[in-house]
Amino acid sequence: MIDGARIEDRRSFRLPTRFVPAIELGVFAIAVAVAVGSYFILSGDSERQRLLTPPLVALLLVANLIPNMALLVLLGRRAAMRRASRSSLGAPGQLHVRLVAVFSLLASVPMLLVTIFASLLFQYGVDFWFSDRARSMLENANAIAQDSYVQMRNGVSSNTSAMATDLAANLKEWSLDSIDFQNYFAWQTYARSLSEAAIVRVTGDQVQAFALVNPYDRDIEQQISLPAVRRLRAGEPQVIEEVDGRFKALVPFPGERDAYLYSARVFDPQMTLARTRSAAVLRDYQTLVSRSRSLQIRFNAALLIISLLIVGLAVLVALAVADRLVRPVAQLVDAARKVASGDLTARVDAPRTRDEVGVLASAFNMMTERLREQTSALVAANEQIDSRRALIEAVMSGVSAGVISVGPDRAVRVINASAANLLDRDALQAVGRPLSEVAAELDAALTSGARETIVQLQAGGEAKTLAVKVTRDDGSFILTFDDITQQLLDQRRAAWSDVARRIAHEIKNPLTPIQLAAERLKRRYGRQIENDDGTFAKLTDTIVRQVGDLRRMVDEFSSFARMPKPVFHEESMLDIARQAVFLHEVAHPDIIFTLNAEDNLPPVVCDRRQFGQALTNIVKNAVEAVEARPEDAPKGEICVRLQEKGGGQLQLTVSDNGIGLPVERDRIVEPYMTTRARGTGLGLAIVKKIVEEHFGSISFGDRPGGGTTVTITLDLNVLAALEGEEAASAYAGPEESQRQAMLTRNGTLRL
């Protein structure tokens, strides 16, 4: 057996030991050279106040990071090799080295990328704030604040002088006390965006206001500054002051001695504060610009140191984890080698801690114990399975019935030779395939949930009828089926042959006398009956026609020993029902016959003669049920109803208030099953056969209030596709008719 450790040594890449010191020395020399070069680059720039470009700083940072990180990894490798040499495993330290390499890469690569990104982000941010554009922005903001203040101050001054001129011109037309002048004065104040105004006269130290606009209700006379008045008297054109959040202006009033115009505008005190702050910010910014390069170098140096510390910490963590893993791994390797050699009793020492390695050791011990138990159980189970398999294969190969085992996923597990022959499939290719691909009809039988069913399918180009039994076991299925195709054909032939012989014997001889008698009655008495409404002619014609139909039926029974084939043509079901009711209505005037039909009933593709025969038999049974009641029973009623149902179906219902269905109602459609003394038991059997030949269904139920209800349902869409065709031969059971109806609905009719 090849030693696993030696295989690992050959497959893993190992750096030659003699080159490691040279590589470490070379990396150290590169780190020192890069550090010296970075110092000269940073100190050699003549413009100490100017920031370094972001690409240059990032390049210097990466150039210092890479050799120093590599040096840390090499030092960690040296430490890992030294610790591995002291390990009892005797390996050359590959686990230690790999852990150091993995942790170093996990720490170095993201840290390098994050450091570069942080440096560039900081550099471009600093470059933006210390750029000429940022400086211009702050200076412009300060200038805007100063200009806004000066502009508002000058606006108050100019508006006050212009207002004094306008008021002096207006006083030439209106007096000082007039309403018009007061309104004009107020309009001038508000139009020039002034908060308050007044015309005052100063005599000595006394101030007297003659006209004023005072929305703030202030003492205007107290707002006049006497030093300002003295400045005006000294020759200044105007005086403007900033007091209590207001710009106050005082100008001489034209044409009046010692008269002055006072005005003020309220402004936001924050304007003054903003002007002061903008100047302070500008001064602080200029101070920060002078220290920008020093901050830039310090930030990147901090990034370099933190990155190296993180990589160094990762190397230390890798060494510690490697030491912890190597100790139990040595035991696991030794025990695994024993298990590989076939010794399933190998175990490792019980772990002292419940960490991941301890859980691994416990799992290993549990695994070896389970392997030992399962191996023993598998050996015994294989022996038992082999013996059972041989028995099952011998049994399945000897039975004639087809057997298929299907799993919960509907895939074929086992198929015997008989099943493969019946389905015309290769047994080896069928195993593992879905049952729907091997035999879709059997898959449909599983879906239906029936325990026993009859399945029609095509195998090898031949139609087969299978009797299927389904057995379920924990989600799996076992299908057992036999080919009963020939058996059904034999039964049908025998049954209909017997029916044909009985019909030919019972009704063939009376047909000719009946027909001749009816024809003679029509010729002799047809013209002699007075006040005839045509009923006599209809009755005799009906007798002749029915006798002809019976003769043809008997001829076909005698010739082919089976029911006549229906010939499908488009007919009016209302006319067929009307003729059947009329025939019995004339014969039984004491019974109330009712025919109800919806308007605009669609035509039906059917064999008029056969369906008329079926409906006549049903109405005849209803008449016999009504006549079998006691004498004191209410008047007999028979109702025939035609109505169209949804889905293209036509429903024909015959209900009566007769004696009702017999106890053996489930067998009333079987041949020769009758409850009447003179009944042959063929009427309802023939009716059921005719309905099935028309791909319909017939059902029997109790009429509310007493009696029987017979319901026939026809699928108009299925019958429409059969116009001009002949139906399939011989009698087919209900399963066959349902199968043919399903095939017809799918667009394929097998005849």
Question: Do 679 and 631 share a structural domain?
Answer: yes
Q: Does residue 558 or residue 580 have the better pLDDT?
A: 580
Same domain (yes/no): 708, 579: yes
Residue 519 and residue 645 in one domain: no
CATH of the domain at 174: 3.30.450.20
Count the domains in the chain: 4
Ranges 6-10, 279-283, 471-475, 523-527, most confident: 471-475
Would you state the pLDDT for residue 489? 59
Question: What is the phi/psi pair of residue 468, to 5°?
Answer: -110, 135
Residue 558 confidence class, pLDDT cut points 50, 70, 90: low
Same domain (yes/no): 587, 539 = no
pLDDT score of 712: 94
- The more confidently predicted of residues 266 and 591 is 591
How much is the average pLDDT of 423-433? 83
Tell me, what CATH number does 694's domain have? 3.30.565.10
CB 51 within 8 A of CB 61: no
Domain match, 637 and 523 both: no
Is 423 exposed, middle or buried (CB count within 10 Å of its CB: 0-12, 13-18, 19+)?
A: buried
Residue 739 located in a structural domain: no
pLDDT at 512 over 50: yes
pLDDT digits (tens, 9 = 90+) for 288-317: 555 556 666 777 777 778 888 888 888 888
Residues 52 and 200 in one domain: no
Which of 296, 311, 338 is where one domain is finished? 338
Instruction: Give 651's pLDDT tier (boundaries 50, 70, 90).
Output: very high
Would the CA dihedral through 32, 38, 39, 41 be positive or negative? positive
**pLDDT one-digit tens code per residue, 69-88:** 888 888 877 777 777 666 65
pLDDT at 8: 42
Burial of residue 6, with CB atoms counted within 10 A of its CB: 0-12 exposed, 13-18 middle, 19 or more buried: exposed
- Give residue 146's pLDDT band: very low, low, confident or very high (50, 70, 90): low
Q: Are 465 and 484 in contact (CB under 8 A)?
A: yes
In this structure, is residue 740 part of a structural domain? Answer: no
Give the model's pLDDT for residue 347.
77
Burial 683-712 (b: 16+ CB within 10 A, else e): bbbbbbbbbbbbbbbbeeeebeeebbbbeb
- pLDDT over 80 at 486, yes or no: no
Pair (537, 634) in one structural domain: no
* Residue 673 belongs to a domain: yes
61 plus 109 within the same structural domain: yes
The answer to whether residue 146 sits within a structural domain is no
Averaged pLDDT, 387-396: 70
pLDDT of residue 41: 76
Mean pLDDT lowest among 41-55, 108-122, 458-472, 502-516: 41-55
The answer to whether residues 631 and 693 belong to one domain is: yes
DSSP class of residue 710 equals E
Q: Is residue 26 part of a domain?
A: yes
Q: Please write the tens of the pLDDT for every residue from 714-749.
A: 999 888 888 876 654 433 444 444 434 333 333 332
Kindly state whether residues 546 and 575 are assigned to the same domain.
no
Does the structure show a pLDDT above 50 at 182?
Answer: yes
- Which are the contacts of 277, defined by CB distance < 8 A and separation ≥ 6? none
Q: Is the pLDDT of residue 559 over 50?
A: no
- Quick check: is 359 in a domain? no
Quick one: 524 and 654 in the same domain? Answer: no
Contact 95, 325 (CB under 8 A): yes
- Whether residue 228 is contained in a domain is answered as yes
For the chain, what percent of residues have pLDDT higher than 90?
A: 7
Residue 196 pLDDT greater than 70, yes or no: yes
CA distance 117 to 111: 10
Q: Do 574 and 722 sit in the same domain of this protein?
A: yes
**Residue 146 structure tokens:** 């100063």
Residue 428 CA: distances (Å) to CA of 145, 389, 424, 458, 479: 95, 16, 12, 20, 18
Quick: pLDDT tens for 598-633: 888 899 999 998 898 889 989 999 998 998 888 888
User: Comparing C-alpha atoms, which of 547, 543, 560 is closest to residue 509?
Assistant: 547
Which three-class secondary structure string do you get for 59-83? HHHHHHHHHHHHHHHHHHHHHHHHH
Does residue 625 form part of some domain? yes
d(CA 102, CA 493): 86
Closest CA relative to residue 594, chosen from 621, 616, 619, 625: 619
Q: What's the mean pLDDT when you consider all of the chain?
A: 76
Burial 147-172 (b: 16+ CB within 10 A, else e): eebeebbebbbebbbebbeebbebbe
At which of 531, 551, 571 does a domain end?
A: 551
Structural domain harbouring 191: 154-271
Of the three residues 497, 518, 551, the one that is the final residue of a domain is 551
CA dihedral (733, 734, 736, 737) positive or negative = positive
Check residue 45 and give its pLDDT: 56
